[in-house]
Structure 1
């Protein structure tokens, strides 16, 4: 071999070994670390390239720097807020406080808005009534009729002097063309994209998406949930296609300060700028619900939501009710659900019978036996795809927000959830899930075992890609 060839071989071996060592030192999951190490060593050219594009979390340090420079006005706890919480959930409240670093807020009102018609009407009214600022973050912002209605409202708010800021995920905007941001910018609305993917130069952050859906107006009213902006969430769609079922939430009270702070963190991450706001004034208490925001993401927030979820399930004594469109939970949560069922707690998991991502349904089918075997109730809903994300424990503790129970939401995406300690709200949300369960089909161990061999192979192959689905 010529000297140049030896140099190239040595360089390739050095790069493949270096990337394998990086995976060994920085990957937290042994299976993931082993997979990347094997890939980089067995494919010394292709492996390091893929690891560079998909395996390295480049935003962790930047996110820590930005958040380190910003001292939140919310980090002042109120030791007395735990008093109204039932004794069974005080440990859960302590877990959430330790994990999030955010205080509990009391005096909130949480209203459920079922379907796009109800949610969009309330959101547009809030934008129309705003007098100071409107902050909107969404994963998908379509340019169809619904998107244009929001664009009109945002432009009108901007024209009357309201500070309007819109943050759209850089990958999510490609779900619909043309991109709505062009129209918004023409109307003077300040709109930014979160980590937009690029071909030249290649984007190394393809998987790191901002999946949060937030609207905050004047710092007093917020909206949070899993609903994007577009015709797809309407029951009566203009194109007469079947709409997606979903539920969104209007939040009023002190917790809106936390929602606004999270939006501003994301805005600062993207732009490097944080708008000057009026001196913080404690929002008026509007109701009886105690609430706190939970953020999760591939930066310093990694695994926070999983920890809180495991704690909530462990605290359950009567009933755990889960409704989610995508269900590929981490091992810790699977074990917590199994343990809850074994100790006599009723566990119900409601999934869509028709999934918009078939490979997610396939992968889920491969792991359901682990829960069904221990008498966890798993149900498939008939009819239109249900995109609802909702968790209720003992009809008192509820989680609402953007996160699905899969690796993409819990490890790769930036998500937001709101935990609500309120019996009236918990009863209403448990009733919503129970109505869906009564019309759903319960999955049995027999039908999982009786799947044809080709289907079982297909499901198992899809399951192998769980970390990236």
Structure 2
């Protein structure tokens, strides 16, 4: 028997591969997931022996249903009820909000039902354009921290700007400020010397789901793609800007201009942001966290009245909250939808919503990069453009550099700023967080910035696009086949 196996080793291995592939295919079919994704996985299993099994093992497991993420010990029902009672709007406030939002009140109700995400009213929101401005604000607030600093980032490098922030964290920790720092193991680069320095200074830090051989796992599933900073439970930051030198345009000469958007929150919206940070902290640290009042200070004196909901999604949520919010926002649009995203690999629901909105007379505009840091994502994105332009969606490609902002503004009423791209990975796989803002002034600012960005963009001509070379179309088709796995 052993001799037979030796003489037919590769045949035996190949048969074993296809037996395992058949089992994996049966599992995929039984889940009744998106047909495109199902076909992509099955074709990979059939035509790429061994490699297909590896791809399925790393990318095909559905952890949302398996619940491997430690389910929100911090978010017990008492805390949820307590937070919601803090934010409960009276009848007069709700009536004003109904009049202001119209059909978009559906967004508020959607998140309240699917994620227990309360609508917060007493907030100030400041739009921050690009890394230089954002880091100036963040550094100033970090230096002024008195009680605690919480950071959660997908990319945090110990380069120039990273070291500047890390030095503040170390200094604050030595002075008694509680510093908790979570970073994604795949996205971030922190040297052993940096980690030792943080440890000696008293900074608590943990990597999110550590992996080996990071060079080969840049697209590993279930990454923490969030960019969150919380200072003293009163000030919060979130958006598209990671901590790395390539996000700076003025301080260091980079290969490309980097265009991005972040926001600074002051007020009640920091509380749900804090809850999401603490939920993640329990997971990465393996510790049960004791909630204290200093983490959720009284913010009733906040002068602003900007309505904000914090929408988070990931394998720990039962619903694709951010995708559903975007879908609802598009469907309730009456005048315009302006979308900026660095990665546009949408699902069928979003494609249909954009097409229907445009065909019904809504001004739908999409801004994506012309220069991308991923050629597969670029060609996959391009494969969707023709069907959108057929429905009169206006498509623009940013030419000044790399556009990394992840924003949506609708009808001068609703805006979304956060970490989520318009792609399958952000909608279903990675941990993401967005601020949904219901405010005319912020919508106006975001609309003005969108129009400024269009000055550094080229509109894709539909007639010329239809005649693009065959080899480009072939690349698009190939990359689109893999798009559910990107």
- The alignment's TM-score, normalised by the length of structure 1, stands at 0.91
Q: Deviations over 1:276-330 (max 9, x none)?
A: 2323444223311111111111343452211111111111101111111111111
What are the residue-to-residue correspondences of 1:190-339 with 2, within 5 Å?
190-198=204-212, 206-239=220-253, 241-279=255-293, 280-284=296-300, 285-339=302-356
Q: 1:152 offset after TM fit, Å?
A: 0.8
- Equivalent residue in structure 2 for 1:109, among 124, 144, 151: 124
Matched position secondary structure for 1:288? coil
Q: Which residue of 2 aligns with 1:83?
A: 95
The reply to whether residue 157 of structure 1 matches residue 172 of structure 2 is yes
Q: Which residue of 2 aligns with 1:340?
A: 357
Q: Which residue of 1 aligns with 2:41?
A: 36
Once residues 355 and 36 of structure 1 are traced to their aligned partners in structure 2, the CA distance between those partners, rounded to angstroms, is 25
Once residues 368 and 193 of structure 2 are traced to their aligned partners in structure 1, the CA distance between those partners, rounded to angstroms, is 31
The reply to whether residue 53 of structure 1 matches residue 65 of structure 2 is no
Once residues 60 and 67 of structure 2 are traced to their aligned partners in structure 1, the CA distance between those partners, rounded to angstroms, is 17
Alignment RMSD? 2.8
Moved more, 306-315 or 267-276: 267-276
The reply to whether residue 173 of structure 1 matches residue 203 of structure 2 is no
Once residues 417 and 169 of structure 2 are traced to their aligned partners in structure 1, the CA distance between those partners, rounded to angstroms, is 25
Once residues 49 and 241 of structure 1 are traced to their aligned partners in structure 2, the CA distance between those partners, rounded to angstroms, is 35
Task: List runs of 5+ in structure 1 lacking aligned partners.
Answer: none
Q: Which residue of 2 aligns with 1:422?
A: 439
Once residues 372 and 448 of structure 1 are traced to their aligned partners in structure 2, the CA distance between those partners, rounded to angstroms, is 10
- Equivalent residue in structure 1 for 2:464, among 423, 447, 461: 447
Matched position secondary structure for 1:287? coil
- The alignment's TM-score, normalised by the length of structure 2, stands at 0.88
Task: Give the direction of change, closer, same or farther, for the CA distance of 1:138–1:358 in structure 2 (3 Å limit).
Answer: same
Q: 1:13 offset after TM fit, Å?
A: 6.4
Task: Give the direction of change, closer, same or farther, for the CA distance of 1:92–1:204 in structure 2 (3 Å limit).
Answer: closer
Matched position secondary structure for 2:351? helix
Contact 1:142–1:180 (CA<8 Å) still a contact in 2? no
Moved more, 132-141 or 229-238: 229-238
Task: List runs of 5+ in structure 2 lacking aligned partners.
Answer: none
Moved more, 293-302 or 340-349: 293-302
The reply to whether residue 147 of structure 1 matches residue 147 of structure 2 is no
Contact 1:142–1:179 (CA<8 Å) still a contact in 2? no
Q: Which residue of 2 aligns with 1:433?
A: 450
Q: Deviations over 1:57-91 (max 9, x none)?
A: 34754456432573162442625453332223222
Task: Give the direction of change, closer, same or farther, for the CA distance of 1:327–1:43 in structure 2 (3 Å limit).
Answer: closer
Once residues 180 and 420 of structure 1 are traced to their aligned partners in structure 2, the CA distance between those partners, rounded to angstroms, is 37
Task: Give the direction of change, closer, same or farther, for the CA distance of 1:145–1:317 in structure 2 (3 Å limit).
Answer: same
Moved more, 279-288 or 306-315: 279-288
